[in-house]
Chain A
Amino acid sequence: MTPLLQVEGVAKFYGARVGCTDVSFDLYPGEVMGIVGESGSGKSTLLNCLAGHLTPDAGAVRFDTKTDGLRDTVTMREPERRMLGRTDWAFVHQHARDGLRMNVSAGGNVGERLMAVGARHYGSIRDTATDWLGRVEINADRIDDRPTAFSGGMQQRLQIARNLVTGPRLVFMDEPTGGLDVSVQARLLDLLRGLVREMGLSAIIVTHDLAVVRLLADRLMVMKDGHVVETGLTDQVLDDPQHAYTQLLVSSVLQV
């Protein structure tokens, strides 16, 4: 079976400092991988390198494109990479404001990706947008409201709808539940889990919240100081941590 994403020896340096280094893994279709680690451990740097927002200093990121099979997205031409960013990939930002157009209505936000890949029929764009708002539990009568009038949780759900509307195969998520209160987090996780299963999505989720990966991720990668210190199945890593740092991370979770 061809991996959907094949990462080999990816490294990114900020001058003399290490962003992340020597990261390799394969992600197979339908698989959800979590990347955990403390702040500054290089999780977001790695995610941005994988999603094409940053250019890695070394290594290859191969994506299984629909037409040509595995292609290195680092050396790919920029128009092709940006096209992937609009079609096969999705990126969910931690702050919904970074991923939404705040001065455009909810319907316009969801429709933007459709129009970016050539949809030119207002009626069908609007129908799709309405359908997707429903799937992320936003009332259809809010379709013409701007995201500024939405709560934090709704904004995050809108961002997810906007990203998934073109049926991507790989979703990058950067702390998707950060900054939301726990009950809203729970609903969002529930929704995400449903969508991932239903659409057969592959996903890479960066978070420092172990509960999030426990719920969503099949596999786990633990990072510290730019290095991957432990990988394995989620339950295995969380229940039987081997590396000292992972043990610290797991034991640091507060029990209610």
Chain B
Amino acid sequence: MTDYNFAYLDEQTKRMIRRAILKGLAIPGYQVPFASREMPMPYGWGTGGVQVSAAVLMPEDTFKVIDQGADDTTNAVSIRRFFQKTAGVAVTEATAKASVIQTRHRIPEEDLREDQILVYQVPIPEPLRFLEPSEVETRKMHSLEEYGLMHVKLYEDISQHGAIATAYAYPVKVEGRYVMDPSPIPKFDNPKLEMAAIQLFGAGREQRIYAVPPYSKVVSLDFEDFPFEASKADHPCDLCGATDSYLDELIVDDDGGRLFMCSDTDYCQGRRAAGHVGAQGVPIEEDAA
């Protein structure tokens, strides 16, 4: 494909985005403004993530896209094809084989390595936004480290629901300084934010990039008497029997029949290939037929 520059964006734009990424890595959790470009997809479909991926991809990279844990949904397939077409990079569904992983709403179950980059798609980068509508004021709160308001949100949760009901986009404090929205990942994934890979967050519509460098300290906010809890459905995966992975609940018939399965399709596939079978699962050889 020669009609486009490598990975769609022109080199000047990629340099601009890389500068924002470097600044983000230098100040963990700080939202760096950048000149977000129009991408050939609607806002909300991952324009921020796509721009960050385009800026970090190299011809020898292997690219993987996750949408809500799955590799085979519309969003994941189209973004993967986009870079196959415009960058000609190798693509994979296997977490371990990928060097750049763009994700929406999940962190892979498998531990990531130092030579991997995880790129998040972020809808609203500002964790304080729903409590404080003014951007001027929220920037000031970040710069002066005035984060009491974040706990007001958690207080409201407990007073209304008896527990911290925030289940996704659960606010974290990075390296003891900036409060950050980890994008709408389930809070089950929050402990995984302390990882070996580089994590980059791109919000296209809101024009912000932020980052968590490898092995950064990431603490989920909570109260002393209501500590943070990484929750998931209390059930093993019905296909592969995993008890340690985040589950999707599917309704499978009109009689209320349910099936819980790993949201991370690659993880589930890998376990089934290794011979694990869940309560409603079938061994993988017959399944393929």
* Chain A residues with a Cβ under 8 A of chain B: 78-79, 82, 86, 101, 104-105, 107-108, 111-113, 115-117, 120-123, 125-126, 143-144
* Chain B residues with a Cβ under 8 A of chain A: 131, 144-146, 148-149, 151-152, 155-156, 158-160, 223-226
A82 to B155, CA, bound (A): 23
CB neighbours (8 Å) of B152 from chain A are 101, 104, 108, 111-112, 115
A113 to B146, CA, bound (A): 11
CB neighbours (8 Å) of B160 from chain A are 105, 144
Q: Are A143 and B149 in contact (CB under 8 A)?
A: no
Question: Do A79 and B144 contact each other (CB < 8 Å), given the known contacts A115-B151, A120-B151, A123-B225?
Answer: yes
CB neighbours (8 Å) of B225 from chain A are 121-123
A-B residue pairs in contact (CB < 8 Å), sample of 9: A82-B144, A101-B131, A107-B155, A108-B159, A116-B146, A120-B151, A120-B224, A122-B223, A125-B155
A115-B148, A115-B151 are known contacts; what are 14 more A-B pairs with Cβ within 8 Å?
Answer: A78-B144, A82-B144, A82-B146, A104-B152, A105-B156, A105-B160, A108-B152, A112-B148, A113-B148, A117-B148, A120-B151, A120-B223, A121-B225, A122-B155
A120 to B150, CA, bound (A): 11
Q: Are B148 and A121 in contact (CB under 8 A)?
A: no
Q: Are B131 and A104 in contact (CB under 8 A)?
A: yes
Partner of B155, one of A78, A86, A108, A113: A108
Q: Are A105 and B159 in contact (CB under 8 A)?
A: yes
Question: Do A126 and B148 contact each other (CB < 8 Å), given the known contacts A120-B223, A120-B224, A121-B224?
Answer: no
A126 to B225, CA, bound (A): 12
CB neighbours (8 Å) of B149 from chain A are 112, 115-116
8 closest Cβ contacts across the A-B interface?
A116-B148, A115-B151, A115-B148, A122-B223, A121-B224, A79-B144, A108-B152, A112-B152
Q: Are B151 and A143 in contact (CB under 8 A)?
A: no
CB neighbours (8 Å) of A143 from chain B are 159
- Specify the chain B residue showing the minimal Cβ separation from A107: B159
A104 to B153, CA, bound (A): 8
- Specify the chain B residue showing the minimal Cβ separation from A113: B148
CB neighbours (8 Å) of A105 from chain B are 156, 159-160
Most buried by A among B144, B152, B158: B152
Question: Do A104 and B146 contact each other (CB < 8 Å), given the known contacts A120-B224, A121-B223, A121-B224?
Answer: no
A144 to B156, CA, bound (A): 8
The distance from the CB of B148 to the nearest CB of chain A, in whole angstroms, is: 3
A121 to B227, CA, bound (A): 10
The distance from the CB of A162 to the nearest CB of chain B, in whole angstroms, is: 11
CB neighbours (8 Å) of A104 from chain B are 131, 152, 156
Question: Do A115 and B144 contact each other (CB < 8 Å), given the known contacts A104-B131, A121-B225?
Answer: no
Q: Are A115 and B155 in contact (CB under 8 A)?
A: yes
- Specify the chain A residue showing the minimal Cβ separation from B164: A122
CB neighbours (8 Å) of A122 from chain B are 155, 158, 223-226
The distance from the CB of B222 to the nearest CB of chain A, in whole angstroms, is: 8
The distance from the CB of A65 to the nearest CB of chain B, in whole angstroms, is: 18
CB neighbours (8 Å) of B224 from chain A are 120-122
Most buried by A among B155, B156, B223, B226: B155
A78 to B225, CA, bound (A): 33
The distance from the CB of B136 to the nearest CB of chain A, in whole angstroms, is: 13
A9 to B202, CA, bound (A): 50
- Specify the chain B residue showing the minimal Cβ separation from A121: B224
CB neighbours (8 Å) of B148 from chain A are 86, 112-113, 115-117
Question: Do A108 and B156 contact each other (CB < 8 Å), given the known contacts A120-B151, A120-B223, A123-B225?
Answer: yes
CB neighbours (8 Å) of A108 from chain B are 152, 155-156, 159
- Specify the chain B residue showing the minimal Cβ separation from A111: B155
A143 to B160, CA, bound (A): 11
CB neighbours (8 Å) of B226 from chain A are 122
A256 to B224, CA, bound (A): 56
- Specify the chain B residue showing the minimal Cβ separation from A144: B159
Most buried by B among A86, A105, A115, A144: A115
CB neighbours (8 Å) of A78 from chain B are 144
The distance from the CB of A165 to the nearest CB of chain B, in whole angstroms, is: 12
The distance from the CB of B140 to the nearest CB of chain A, in whole angstroms, is: 8
Most buried by A among B145, B151, B224: B151
A123 to B158, CA, bound (A): 10
A108 to B158, CA, bound (A): 10
CB neighbours (8 Å) of B144 from chain A are 78-79, 82
A252 to B144, CA, bound (A): 47
The distance from the CB of B31 to the nearest CB of chain A, in whole angstroms, is: 20
